[in-house]
Structure 1
Amino acid sequence: MELRVVDQPAGTKPAAAAKSKDPAGSPAGSHRRNPGFPLDLDWVERVRMNRSALERRAATLPARRTVKKDWQAAWLLKAITLMDLTTLNSDDTPGRVERLCAKARHPVRQDIIDGLGVADLEVKPAAVCVYHSFVKTAVEALKGTGINVAAVSTAFPHGLAPLSTRLAEIEASVADGANEIDIVIERGMVLRGDWQALYDEVRAMRRACGDAHIKTILGTGELATQTNVAKASLVCMLAGADFIKTSTGKEKVNANLQTSLSMVRMIRWFHEETGIEIGYKPAGGIATAKLSLDYMALIKEELGTHWLQPHLFRFGASSLLTDIERQLEHTLTGHYAADYRMPMV
């Protein structure tokens, strides 16, 4: 079932809106994977974004779109199923990854699940995202859960290694069991306007991924303009990206609503022209339940409720789940728990 809020049918239980038959994010039967298309430089050059208009539109979302009480709980449960639980730290260890995978298996305390009456929904995140070194650890820890394993590859977070090295890392991650690959583009190609080079690299990375889905990280905080963000989004989609993603989480400026509007509107335009649905993943700085609701409202308004599914929308998050779990407990008790009662790892 798809989450519905503003247009929820009368008589439907709010919590039921969070149910997803496949929380791991496997594409729905009607979903066609992006096959890639020839690079259309005329289309790329027609792309323009009005920064002031984007900022005004983004500023209205948090004020106009709010949900409360049981409806908020339904949205937040849905948000968990759209989440890539992530650990991308220099001090990661196999033990930390195993603990994160244990949290992915049981993302919300059982007493909260029982209190909300949603045990039958089997709410789980869409994926666990780790460095290549820990793919095997995550695959083993998540065996039998249906939760995807995503690997950040291609010299994350800067993407400045030789192309052959980056392609080899993708192939190694796929061989170890990753079924999603988060790649980073070389930002200099965008700043130079070298769209052919960007297209060729992403196309090569898509081939290296094979059946694993590819999420292209644009590093939007380093692309200078919203028009650059939009053009890079289009080129990556033409090259065969399954998702476009804002950030590595390591930039000074990560995901925000105005940049998300630029990318989401390119997804909509691409769908109108090709009939292909592309996923969107904001990442970096999304740490509160309220902010996750703002992003979900943006997707609902710009692309429709249909896009609020794991194969079309994800949050890249490391601490978001903690705040969502606190909000869900508040729904039951009227009190906010301390963070340590919902440890991640």
Structure 2
Amino acid sequence: MTSADARRAAASVLPQGVWDFLEGGSGSEATLAANRAAFDDLFLVPRVLADVSGTRTAATVLGAPAAMPVGIAPMAYQRLFHPDGESAAAQAAETAGVPYVAGMLSTYALEEITAVCSRTWLQLYWLRDRVLLTDLIDRAEAAGCTALVLTVDVPRMARRLRDMRNAFTLPPDIVAANFPATATRSARRGEANTSAVMVHTSEAFDPTLTWNDVAWLRGQTELPLVLKGVLHPEDAARAAGLGVDAVVVSNHGGRQLDGAVPALNALAAVCAAVEGSTEVFLDGGVRGGTDVLKALALGATAVLTGRPVLWGLSADGQRGVERVLSLLRAELEDALALSGCADVSWAKGLTVVSGNVPLSSASVRRGPRW
């Protein structure tokens, strides 16, 4: 089995509009495609004669142990893909021993998710309704969430043409369970050439979010704070200076600025800018264990994976997600051993090279392990 098998299984069961909501990007989907192409263009230079008889995938992520340096990215409205939605995905994360980032627009309430997953992080968008935002922060602390993840690359939702052409709306039984019952009413009003979800987010999200607000949020909670959607090294350094615990190098899976740099191509510069003062995660285009290893070799602490989880969820609920995560761990263990890495900490010693550049002193990145 590969993640491509899970993708085919999901495509066979989902309605076309839901499939497009899952798979689509913004604009011409150039950045969506580039995220994957960046991984395909990067190659590892394995080392030999290292004892890899006991290869280990275990890692420390935000100061907590994880079975591998992988977490599940925040994704909205997961009951669109399976009746058990976020509950199934979170239970699968618990079984796999990895963090689960609960989307603010989840179809199960936060407390229902933390009840089945001890490694739950809550994703936040910056809301016009500050009372609701503050309430969510308080609920996260009370429910036992272990981090907050503020998404910073959605001052407005981009034009996602698949959803607009489909006049995509939420079915009546799909609700944002962390919001008041009437909050997602606009996401059910269909209109030609319009995404109702885009209309709803324009009403709910506040585009005035600035660094002052990040500083305010940092002062509101003692939970680890993660900023998701950082691509510029200067932004990463500024986040670290404000006491942010981690940044996620991300272009929102190709769903925001079409033409934005692939996340993988921005990773090394971000890692250099923060100089180890904050953890650096990556999402966008991660499909297999070798992708995880490439991100680690470029300096990432961990990666977040999104669409493959929804493929598994769509195909077979919790068991489908568990299979996707189990496969990812097996592939990572295999990639570590075959590249000469006894554990994930060795990955930063690997050399990486662009596929269209000859291997030379000018074209490689070397780490300190060997």
TM-score by length of 2: 0.48
Contact 1:187–1:219 at 8 Å: present in 2 too?
no
CA displacement 1:97-131 (0-9 Å, x = unmatched) = 23223322333xxxxxxxxxxxxxxxx21x11112
Q: How far did 1:149 drift?
A: 0.8
Pair 1:174-2:141 in alignment: yes
The AA in structure 1 aligned to 2:303 is: F
Pair 1:314-2:313 in alignment: no
In structure 2, the residue matched to 1:297 is: 297
**Where does 1:218-257 land on structure 2 (aligned, <5 Å)?**
218-220=229-231, 229-247=232-250, 248-249=252-253, 250-251=255-256, 252=258, 256-257=263-264
Question: In 1, distance between residues paired with 2:218 and 2:281?
Answer: 17
Contact 2:149–2:228 at 8 Å: present in 1 too?
yes
When the two chains are superposed, the root-mean-square deviation of aligned CA atoms in Å is 3.9
Pair 1:90-2:90 in alignment: no
Q: How far did 1:81 drift?
A: 2.4
Change (3 A) 1:150 1:328: closer
Q: How far did 1:76 drift?
A: 4.7
**Where does 1:1-345 land on structure 2 (aligned, <5 Å)?**
62-65=43-46, 71=52, 74=55, 76=57, 80-86=67-73, 88-92=75-79, 95-107=84-96, 124-125=97-98, 127-132=99-104, 134-142=109-117, 147-153=118-124, 155=125, 159=126, 161=128, 166-185=133-152, 198-208=210-220, 210-220=221-231, 229-247=232-250, 248-249=252-253, 250-251=255-256, 252=258, 256-268=263-275, 271=276, 277-299=277-299, 313-318=301-306, 319=308, 321=325, 323-325=327-329, 327=331
The AA in structure 2 aligned to 1:217 is: K
Change (3 A) 1:152 1:72: farther
Change (3 A) 1:86 1:70: farther
CA displacement 1:250-290 (0-9 Å, x = unmatched) = 4355763320012101111xx5xxxxx31111112212111
SS of 1:81's equivalent?
coil
Question: In 1, distance between residues paired with 2:281 and 2:151?
Answer: 13
SS of 2:280's equivalent?
strand
TM-score by length of 1: 0.51
Q: How far did 1:199 drift?
A: 2.7
Question: In 2, distance between residues paired with 1:66 and 1:161?
Answer: 52
Question: In 1, distance between residues paired with 2:333 and 2:244?
Answer: 38
Question: In 1, distance between residues paired with 2:271 and 2:44?
Answer: 20
In structure 1, the residue matched to 2:167 is: none
Instruction: Decide which structure has greater strand share.
Output: 2
In structure 2, the residue matched to 1:192 is: none
Instruction: Decide which structure has greater helix share.
Output: 1
SS of 1:62's equivalent?
strand
Question: In 2, distance between residues paired with 1:199 and 1:279?
Answer: 19
Question: In 1, distance between residues paired with 2:68 and 2:329?
Answer: 13
Question: In 1, distance between residues paired with 2:153 and 2:332?
Answer: 40
Question: In 2, distance between residues paired with 1:136 and 1:94?
Answer: 18
Question: In 2, distance between residues paired with 1:324 and 1:67?
Answer: 23
Question: In 1, distance between residues paired with 2:143 and 2:57?
Answer: 32
Q: How far did 1:140 drift?
A: 0.8
Question: In 2, distance between residues paired with 1:94 and 1:177?
Answer: 25
Change (3 A) 1:175 1:290: same
Q: How far did 1:214 drift?
A: 0.6
Show structure 2 runs of 5+ residues with no match. 1-38, 60-65, 156-208, 309-323, 336-370
CA displacement 1:131-162 (0-9 Å, x = unmatched) = 245321221113xxxx4211111x2xxx4646
Change (3 A) 1:254 1:213: farther
Higher relative contact order at CA 8 Å, sep ≥6: structure 1 or structure 2? Answer: 2
Change (3 A) 1:234 1:172: same
Identity %: 12
In structure 1, the residue matched to 2:14 is: none
Question: In 1, distance between residues paired with 2:73 and 2:274?
Answer: 24
SS of 2:55's equivalent?
helix
SS of 2:145's equivalent?
coil
